[in-house]
Amino acid sequence: MSMQINMPKHVDDLPQVLWWEADEVAIAISIFGIGLLTHYMMTSLIVMVIVMRLASRMKSAALNGAAFQVMCSSGLVQLNNEFPDLLEKELFV
């Protein structure tokens, strides 16, 4: 007798804030914060819209989770507690 396992459809997707993914929200907040600190709010809002459109086009052209994989392989984000460094060439099992 075999067990049926439900596979999730969106394994590599980042957590969502309303209808945006976490990486898009981080980009928007950082650009908005820079505009707030430099007193160029309208300019930062225009730049934010342009950068968000470019980021969404780039994400839709790539596979799901491609941005997270780039962040992990560059060392910006830790994968998990078992494999903290993706840049290691040898894994000992």
- Asked if 44 and 36 touch (Cβ cutoff 8 Å), the reply is yes
Confidence of residue 3 (pLDDT cuts 50, 70, 90): confident
pLDDT: is 21 or 91 the higher one? 21
pTM of the model: 0.56
If phi > 0 it is left, if psi is from -120 to 50 it is alpha, else beta; for residue 55 that is: alpha
Quick one: which of 54, 52, 62 has its CA closest to 21?
A: 52
What whole-number percentage of the chain has pLDDT above 90? Answer: 19
Q: What is the DSSP string of 15-82?
A: PEETTEEHHHHHHHHHHHHHHHHHT-HHHHHHHHHHHHHHHHHHHHHS-TTHHHHHHHHHTSS---SS
DSSP classification of residue 1: -
21-40 pLDDT, tens digit per residue, is 777 888 889 999 999 999 99
